[in-house]
Structure 1
Amino acid sequence: MDKQALKKYAIAVVDAMAPELKKISLALHNHPELGGQEHQAARLLTAAAERHGFSIRQDISGYKTAFIATKGDTGPKIAFLAEYDALPELGHACGHNLIAAMSWGAAAALAAVAGDQAATYFIGCPAEETSGAKVAMADDGIFNGLTAALIVHPADNNCIGGTSYATHPLKVTFHGRPAHVASNTDKGVNALDALVLFYQGLQALRQTFTQKTILAGIITKGGLAPNIVPEEAEAKFTVRALSAQYLEETVLPAVRRLAAGIASATGTTVELVHYEPLFKELRNSPRLMELFQTNMTALGEEVIVLKADDADGSTDVGNVSHAAPTIHPDISIGPGLVAHTPDFAAAAGSDYAQERLLVGAKAMVMTAIDLLE
């Protein structure tokens, strides 16, 4: 059977799976679970894979809700990545319920039509919104040797290309010495003053970088009472750049030097801790992008091609893309939507979105078929 015939077969498989895929998506949407706690989602997805003859490995890279489902062991190794964690209070306001269903549909369809022409991987990746399981999984070599890794994200438009920011969140804590603000004998050492100077210094520091950089944060601890000189002041910052190399080798060392200088000048001490792991920038595979766009066109979809340096957000899929050829396109589930909002959460559970996930699954499996030898 030639590739065009295989694609028609795969489309028919996805259509036949539509009730199952929609049921999975809505079950996840109606029962959102936070990162690392997605036990129900993992059970639902692994049970579906087992019913279709996939072999399952669980408890991957320290995440009990991570899994690797495989079927076939010859030909190109093609992986479909599932995300299924939700956001606090907002639920599936990033549409991970749709991502999980799309990737499962594509994986099941490829395994059904490719036979021994491909090794199909359906990889469950928890906690994308927080610690990012794909970081540890990439460090453990889970994605090494893959021919391709595919994932589609719901959005307001069909888009492909672009990148994401490398990010390494940073907690900064200044330590001083407490005293009563009206004391004549001990003025104390004000940790909050040092933190405010650091916060202001970041604004000037940003202007020194030659690549686009984001330095933003909030003060999470500023003292205990207004009549006590703050002994400890803490802030959390998102520190981002267009490449992990520039972030780690240029931006973060400059931030550390600024903190150390302010601590020395104010008589405080400072502690800097990365409270979440490094998310690397996304590298979309040009070949996979071209194939995916062609297949979306064949499905009657128009796709916006973004410039290579068009960055939007951060994702641990970036770490996957440093280990294997990867694409992370967007599929529209409604105009004007902004992720991480109540409106997006509502859209991710809509009837329209459940139809759109079928398009995403079809485009992914068609792209995978193009990779068959």
Structure 2
Amino acid sequence: MRSQRDRLVRTRCSVARQGAPGNGHRTRGRLVVVGSPAEEGGGGKIPIITSGLLDDIDAAIMLHPSGENLSAMRTLSRSSLTMTFTGRAAHAAVSPHDGINALDAAVLTLNAIGLLRQQMSDDVRIHAIITEGGDAQNIIPERAVIEASVRAEDPRALLENVQPRVENCARGAAMATGAAVTIEEGGPTYLSIQPNPVLEAIVDASYARIGRITEPHREEVFPGSTDMGNVSQVVPSIHPNIEIVPGLTMHSRRATELVGGEHGDKAVLDGALMLAMTATNLFRHPAVVDEVKANFVEGIRPT
């Protein structure tokens, strides 16, 4: 990411908070607007956490476009791995016995991961591609690279159980083929979103006031990942979705077409209003903020 894009945008503004009806009392709140680029893999919210910017924040709220109105969602934690295999080049016809095939190690790793899936819980997702696998078909590949994403709902299960087993697939394949392997993080780890039922209820009410009906509360986990999950581990958070058109799948050509038109514009305006109403509810009712905090348990904090 370019340094200009990495710059954290921090805008502070005092927000008048109305006291109890009829008493004329006014207190003051604080709204912090933070730009966080690179959600899709770069983890732009993680340095915001480690910088301490959120240490005195009562609640974090954001919004994501979607094909439905959701007041909250659960997600998967995700780690990103880059596995680099190093072998020895040789002519594939004249002297294959002199080579060590790094691509074989990569293919064997993918096969091992495929077999591992049977022993994984239903929430686990492992997906990978070979990004390097040789330069010419008549040369034993001396270098091969796998990029993989490993996901699970429980972040501790991901980091302490699932990810190590995937890494062992690569180590075993390297040992079997005689190649060497290095395993590095391909990006920051995304943690699953911790729900907050109080914030969810506020968003439901805010959506209803602008004429948007939210989908019923869901127990199933959305099989995606976001760095807002990391925020939710350290600050009470909400990550609602707003419908552009019913059933729309994001990251699709149709979504690209719609977000720049009237449907996208309406979602932006409605979404901004919903977020403003949600924040105003918190500013006006300190007891609700206390309830939000009472329903929060701090999880994993990035280091």
The TM-score with structure 2 as length reference comes to 0.85
For residue 119 of structure 1, give the secondary structure of its aligned residue in structure 2.
strand
Paired position in structure 1 for 2:291:
none
Closer, same or farther: CA 351–38 of 1 in aligned 2, 3 Å:
farther
**1:312 CA drift (Å):** 3.4
For residue 168 of structure 1, give the secondary structure of its aligned residue in structure 2.
strand
Closer, same or farther: CA 173–220 of 1 in aligned 2, 3 Å:
same
Contact 2:74–2:195 (CA under 8 A) maintained in structure 1 = yes
Contact 2:41–2:188 (CA under 8 A) maintained in structure 1 = no
Deviations 1:248-288 (A, max 9, x none): 11111111222212211211111111111111111121100
Paired position in structure 1 for 2:9:
67
Paired position in structure 1 for 2:289:
none
Distance in structure 1 (CA, Å) of the matches to 2:193 and 2:126:
19
For residue 163 of structure 1, give the secondary structure of its aligned residue in structure 2.
coil
**1:184 CA drift (Å):** 4.6
1:246 to 157, 174, 182: 157
Deviations 1:272-322 (A, max 9, x none): 111111111111211000111012112221101342442231111111111
Closer, same or farther: CA 115–67 of 1 in aligned 2, 3 Å:
farther
Distance in structure 1 (CA, Å) of the matches to 2:273 and 2:95:
74
Deviations 1:157-198 (A, max 9, x none): 111223111111111111111111123584311111111010
**1:334 CA drift (Å):** 1.0
Paired position in structure 1 for 2:293:
none
Paired position in structure 1 for 2:29:
118
For residue 251 of structure 1, give the secondary structure of its aligned residue in structure 2.
helix
Distance in structure 1 (CA, Å) of the matches to 2:126 and 2:42:
19
What is the correspondence of 1:109-258 to structure 2 with a 5 Å cutoff? 116-184=27-95, 186-210=97-121, 212-258=123-169
Deviations 1:222-261 (A, max 9, x none): 1111111111111111111112211111111111222212
Contact 1:191–1:231 (CA under 8 A) maintained in structure 2 = yes
Paired position in structure 2 for 1:57:
none
Contact 2:75–2:153 (CA under 8 A) maintained in structure 1 = yes
Deviations 1:92-137 (A, max 9, x none): xxxxxxxxxxxxxxxxxxxxxx974311111111111231210121
Residue identity matched to 1:219: I
Gaps of 5+ in 2: 18-24, 287-303
Closer, same or farther: CA 320–196 of 1 in aligned 2, 3 Å:
same
Distance in structure 1 (CA, Å) of the matches to 2:268 and 2:131:
39
Distance in structure 2 (CA, Å) of the matches to 1:189 and 1:134:
42
Residue identity matched to 1:371: L
What is the correspondence of 1:238-317 to structure 2 with a 5 Å cutoff? 238-317=149-228
Distance in structure 1 (CA, Å) of the matches to 2:269 and 2:52:
30
Closer, same or farther: CA 73–258 of 1 in aligned 2, 3 Å:
same
Closer, same or farther: CA 228–74 of 1 in aligned 2, 3 Å:
same
Gaps of 5+ in 1: 1-34, 40-62, 76-113
Distance in structure 2 (CA, Å) of the matches to 1:185 and 1:228:
8
Distance in structure 2 (CA, Å) of the matches to 1:247 and 1:36:
30
Closer, same or farther: CA 216–360 of 1 in aligned 2, 3 Å:
same
Contact 2:66–2:249 (CA under 8 A) maintained in structure 1 = yes
Distance in structure 2 (CA, Å) of the matches to 1:185 and 1:168:
36
Paired position in structure 2 for 1:103:
none
Residue identity matched to 1:246: A
Which of the pair has the greater relative contact order for Cα pairs under 8 Å at 6+ separation?
2
Closer, same or farther: CA 305–141 of 1 in aligned 2, 3 Å:
farther
Closer, same or farther: CA 340–38 of 1 in aligned 2, 3 Å:
farther
Contact 2:87–2:100 (CA under 8 A) maintained in structure 1 = yes
Contact 2:196–2:236 (CA under 8 A) maintained in structure 1 = yes
Closer, same or farther: CA 207–139 of 1 in aligned 2, 3 Å:
farther
Contact 1:131–1:276 (CA under 8 A) maintained in structure 2 = yes
Contact 2:72–2:241 (CA under 8 A) maintained in structure 1 = no
Contact 1:216–1:238 (CA under 8 A) maintained in structure 2 = yes
Contact 1:151–1:329 (CA under 8 A) maintained in structure 2 = yes
The reply to whether residue 365 of structure 1 matches residue 276 of structure 2 is yes
**1:73 CA drift (Å):** 8.7
Paired position in structure 1 for 2:252:
341
